[in-house]
Structure 1
Amino acid sequence: MKKKLGFYSIVLLTINSIIGTGIFLSPGAVVAKSGDKALLIYSFAAIFAAVLAITFAAAAKYVSKGGAAYAYTKAAFGDNLGFYVGITRYIAASIAWGVMGTGVVKTVLSIFKLDSSNLLLVTVGFICLMGILLAINLAGTRFLEIINNLSTLGKVGALITTIVVGLGIVLFTQVNEFGNIHTLTDATGVPLGYNMDISSWVMAVIAAFYAFTGFESVASGAEDMEEPEKNLPRAIPLAIAIVAAIYVGIVGVAMMINPQAIISTTEVVALADVFSNPIIRSVIILGALVSMFGINVAASFHTPRILEAMALQGQIPVFFAKRTDKDFPVVAFFITIGIAILLPMAFRFDMTSIMVLSSISRFIQFIVVPLAVMVFYFGRERGQALQDVKKNFVVDVIIPGIAVILTVVLLYNFSWTQQFTIVLEDGSVLPNTFAIVAMVIGYIVLPFILMIWQHMRKQTQEQMIEK
């Protein structure tokens, strides 16, 4: 028997996949958008994440195969839509992994006072990071599980320590700066969060929600988990609840101790600038580094397995599902690592542009997967879902329906113009060519070419069988 991830390791993997750089590097972005409403914004984002997490967990009980959104879509709606969701999600996840790797390298360079804009330094650091992740995965699932668990406990420990110390400071010094948030203003002199309209609320919730994403990819590695149809539906919501409590706690503490610092700091690890104590600052910086490394470990586990899942289900050559004697998907990993390295390099590590692909792919999943769960409930899938499933109308229909409605509302109110334009210092607006090209290639050109190739391959196989 090959070693597989148990329930608690799945919980830790989910937490590790969610908590990355954002809560350490830029928690002030949400505060700057919403002012004293920041905790409410994070609570709304947590509710949205919880709704989606329950939906993905419900899908996992119907489909135990790896691939996450790809497997669910294929089971519910057939090969073509499944292939499109799978390939777009795979490309976006690979690029997102490259973005996270870039973030680790640039942050480490900045912490050690090196030039984080130096393309050579970033490239060398990036390749070194990928080499370390390759070595961890080659060592087998057991070793990866240990590294994943330790990195998760490390980042969670750093955040909980920060919350406890922060609350201790407030309680023992009787100093609470939370009310000072009302005196802070934006660049135009308007108080933070003043007179927010629905669009402002939506953008703030989305900004906070991105700190919760990552749970949707965990089931990609279901083939390497013990009883995924039972453990994933319990593990994902539990992980979301833990992360939500940590996020609300850390943002609340930061706003009570030094709201000005969390918004205006120029430090790389923004959260560290809230505290003046050097020991606490060191704990936070170390936690940030562990967190960034940990989320890359998680990405190195589930991203290649999207490609492997497509191979196992016969939509791409089975060669891509080849594993080592330690049960490591070696071919899928090397292809994924190539995309994760080369595409960010092609964009000269411009993180803003290439993150558009990842963002859009998530919204596609957040509509398709809830619809798939409802299809499973009413028994109209393509015969690929598990049949002995305990169905629940609230979990399998009501909550997925709410997920679809919330996603559509967010998409409608989302500021797409900001994603595909660049505002120069003189105020002029230019199209973000890199972002537009990445979206067209990733969501139209490449899937179309691959679908034609797949169709031709299938025809060739049928002709060979006939002969």
Structure 2
Amino acid sequence: MKKKLGFWSIVLLTINSIIGSGIFLSPGSVVTMAGKWAPVVYLMAAVFAAVLAISFAAAAKYVSSGGAAYAYAKAAFGDNVGFYIGITRFIAASIAWGVMATAVIKTVISIFGGDNNSFLLITIGFIVLMLILLVINLFGPKLFELINNISTVGKLLALITTIAAGIVIILKTGVNHFNEINSLTAANGKSLNLSVMVMATIAAFYAFTGFESAASGSADMKSPEKNLPRAIPIAIILIAVIYIGVISVSMMINPQALVKTKEVVALVAIFKNKIVKNIILYGALVSMFGINVAASFSTPRVLESIAQEKQIPAWFNQRTARNFPLRAFVTTFLIAIILPMTFNYNMTNIIVLSSISRFIQFLIVPVSVVLFYYGKNKKQILPNVKKNFITDVIFPLIGLILTIFLLIKFDWVGQFTIKSANGQITPNIYAIAAMIIGYIILPLGLFFFSHSKKMKA
């Protein structure tokens, strides 16, 4: 490539990969569960994300090839484990892209006064959005970098404006509704215990996910082994400060609206001023479009990375004259739209599925970094790596322990069942089927296909 992403573009790409729909769509559910402790919950989620992000950044020092978790798992544990992590990572990223695409489409439909629950309108919007993203990527990294940087700066300005406007309103009115949140959460039957805190933290953590995607396109970055370990932590710190500021201000101004709103962009309901409302609404739109741009860059490259290692057909490893992985892009788009369609574009269901589907790589990558530090599989990692016991051993082990703890305390039954109006509980067939297909059937099918090709060769 003649043009590769530099350090600050990587920082902005990481920010763009993280700040998307989460902070605009999910704060109400976090506040409902955590009450006045919501800012603390977001801080806990930020710490968890930062620990994992440092693990991913440390792994990037040892393995510079694209694919992120796939490349790290392959280098640490061999082809078979790497293959499984790569396929499941690709499925998880595709699901996440489907969530983000659905969010931006529903927001656009709302802005134009349409029915954002219309299956037909959302499907048409999905296809139009993917065509736009295709055009952006077809023109190569230079246009992508420009749009990525502009959208990232735009969403940061929108969120900072939200905080500033909130502070002005609080100072002008002298009214602070922060303590009212306790009565609202009590009315919803939520009591604060360890299980509730864990579920609230996982819900808040959704707003920080995306850092693991930043390294997927490392082949298109300048010195990724040096720039990624510095860029990812910087991005996490900036985002944590902004998120906690947004949540705190929102709870002070109008916690009732935050909890009870039916708006697609929950933060819009907080303010009465139309100008501020529009800043948040269009800022959310820019944010969600920007994260779709970031997803269109990183997600197809996960599939491409697996093809480059000859673990799936080389057909996915073909690029256009402008250096764009078109075939991988089209395949990713199809998966990204099929899953939301099967859930009838229900945001709650696909957000939950998206969150759960990421956790396997949060178990594998920290262990991989520790193995790299102690010199396992030296032939698979870069030479002369500057090792650091704190970032390469302590942080990964903390991340591993936190991940296991959250998985144990996660409400698996609640998230894979549906409670009807009369209180009857039934299995969520779509969610269960999606996990079985994505994590068992598809990896096994591709593994045996790849293995049979090697045997014939």
Of 360-369 and 243-252, deviating more is 360-369
**1:38-437 to 2 correspondences below 5 Å:** 38-188=38-188, 190=189, 194=191, 196-381=192-377, 383-437=379-433
The CA RMSD measured in Å over matched residues stands at 1.5
Match of 1:464 in 2: none
Matched to 1:6, the amino acid is G
Unaligned 5+ runs, structure 1? 462-467
CA distance in 2, matches of 1:314, 1:385: 19
Of 171-180 and 92-101, deviating more is 171-180
CA distance in 1, matches of 2:384, 2:311: 26
CA distance in 2, matches of 1:222, 1:305: 9
Query: What secondary structure, in the 3-state scheme, does the structure 1 residue paired with 2:336 have?
Result: helix
Question: 1:382 and 1:91, CA in 2 relative to 1: closer, same or farther beyond 3 A?
Answer: farther
Q: Deviations over 1:222-269 (max 9, x none)?
A: 010010000000010100001100000000111111111111222222
Matched to 1:23, the amino acid is I
Matched to 1:159, the amino acid is L
Of 259-268 and 13-22, deviating more is 259-268
How far residue 186 of structure 1 moved from its aligned partner, in angstroms, is: 4.2
CA distance in 2, matches of 1:429, 1:348: 20
Q: 8 Å contact 1:353–1:432 — kept in the other structure?
A: no
Of 126-135 and 167-176, deviating more is 167-176
Matched to 1:129, the amino acid is L
CA distance in 1, matches of 2:308, 2:125: 33
Matched to 1:368, the amino acid is I
CA distance in 2, matches of 1:263, 1:365: 32
CA distance in 2, matches of 1:270, 1:345: 23
Matched to 2:414, the amino acid is Q
Matched to 2:194, the amino acid is I
Query: What secondary structure, in the 3-state scheme, does the structure 1 residue paired with 2:377 have?
Result: coil
Matched to 1:391, the amino acid is K
How far residue 140 of structure 1 moved from its aligned partner, in angstroms, is: 0.7
TM-score for the superposition, normalised by structure 2 = 0.97
CA distance in 2, matches of 1:310, 1:269: 36
Match of 1:453 in 2: 449
Unaligned 5+ runs, structure 2? none
Matched to 2:77, the amino acid is F
Q: Deviations over 1:293-335 (max 9, x none)?
A: 1111110000000011111122123331211222111121111
CA distance in 1, matches of 2:92, 2:347: 13
Question: 1:166 and 1:342, CA in 2 relative to 1: closer, same or farther beyond 3 A?
Answer: same
Question: 1:328 and 1:211, CA in 2 relative to 1: closer, same or farther beyond 3 A?
Answer: same
Question: 1:330 and 1:359, CA in 2 relative to 1: closer, same or farther beyond 3 A?
Answer: same
Q: Deviations over 1:191-237 (max 9, x none)?
A: x6x4x221111111111111100000110100100100000000101
CA distance in 2, matches of 1:181, 1:355: 24
Matched to 1:41, the amino acid is V
Matched to 1:178, the amino acid is F
Query: What secondary structure, in the 3-state scheme, does the structure 2 residue paired with 1:114 have?
Result: coil
Match of 2:31 in 1: 31
Q: 8 Å contact 2:95–2:354 — kept in the other structure?
A: yes
CA distance in 1, matches of 2:302, 2:296: 11
How far residue 184 of structure 1 moved from its aligned partner, in angstroms, is: 2.5
Q: 8 Å contact 2:106–2:264 — kept in the other structure?
A: no
CA distance in 2, matches of 1:181, 1:203: 18
How far residue 277 of structure 1 moved from its aligned partner, in angstroms, is: 1.2
Q: 8 Å contact 2:73–2:82 — kept in the other structure?
A: yes
TM-score for the superposition, normalised by structure 1 = 0.95
Matched to 2:67, the amino acid is G
Matched to 1:209, the amino acid is F
CA distance in 2, matches of 1:108, 1:366: 33
CA distance in 1, matches of 2:213, 2:264: 27
Question: 1:87 and 1:155, CA in 2 relative to 1: closer, same or farther beyond 3 A?
Answer: same
Matched to 1:226, the amino acid is K
Q: Deviations over 1:159-192 (max 9, x none)?
A: 001111211222233222223223324445x5x6
CA distance in 1, matches of 2:264, 2:434: 28
CA distance in 1, matches of 2:349, 2:274: 35
Matched to 1:264, the amino acid is K
Aligned identity (percent) is 62
How far residue 382 of structure 1 moved from its aligned partner, in angstroms, is: 6.0
Question: 1:345 and 1:266, CA in 2 relative to 1: closer, same or farther beyond 3 A?
Answer: closer
Q: 8 Å contact 2:304–2:328 — kept in the other structure?
A: yes
Q: Deviations over 1:54-105 (max 9, x none)?
A: 1100001110000000000000000000000001111221122122111211
Matched to 2:117, the amino acid is S
Aligned residues: 457
Matched to 1:336, the amino acid is T
Matched to 2:326, the amino acid is V
How far residue 356 of structure 1 moved from its aligned partner, in angstroms, is: 4.9
Question: 1:338 and 1:268, CA in 2 relative to 1: closer, same or farther beyond 3 A?
Answer: closer
Q: 8 Å contact 1:57–1:236 — kept in the other structure?
A: yes
How far residue 107 of structure 1 moved from its aligned partner, in angstroms, is: 2.2
CA distance in 1, matches of 2:200, 2:27: 12
CA distance in 1, matches of 2:171, 2:340: 46
Matched to 1:370, the amino acid is P
How far residue 106 of structure 1 moved from its aligned partner, in angstroms, is: 1.7
Q: 8 Å contact 2:26–2:203 — kept in the other structure?
A: no
Q: 8 Å contact 2:70–2:82 — kept in the other structure?
A: yes
